[in-house]
Amino acid sequence: MKINLYNEGDNPIRVIIDGDTVNDSTLEPGEERFIESRDAGVIELRELDGPQAATDPSD
């Protein structure tokens, strides 16, 4: 799977590809990036420094 991400928000976004939290990356506000995962992979997005960051029990 290939996607193009653009962060329109005010906070950075953590990008986790295929559950690999060791090699995750951060998408800063205003940044655009092409992301690729396995064919049946998962791309997870988490807002950093925002309301969701404070309430996410999985971190």
- The whole-number pLDDT of residue 41 equals 84
Enumerate the domain spans of the chain. Answer: 2-50
The set of residues, in sequence order, having a beta carbon less than 8 Å from that of 28 and lying 6+ positions away, is 7, 12
Residue 59: band (very low, low, confident or very high) from pLDDT cuts 50, 70, 90 = low
User: Tell me: the pLDDT tens digits for 7-56?
Assistant: 999 999 999 999 888 989 999 999 999 998 887 788 999 999 866 655 55
Kindly report the pTM of this predicted structure: 0.74
**Cα(59)–Cα(2) distance, rounded to whole angstroms?**
26
Residue 1: band (very low, low, confident or very high) from pLDDT cuts 50, 70, 90 = confident
- Residue 55's SS3 state is helix
| The pair of three-digit structure tokens given for residue 31, joined into one six-digit string | 């940044």
- The whole-number pLDDT of residue 28 equals 96
The set of residues, in sequence order, having a beta carbon less than 8 Å from that of 8 and lying 6+ positions away, is 29, 30
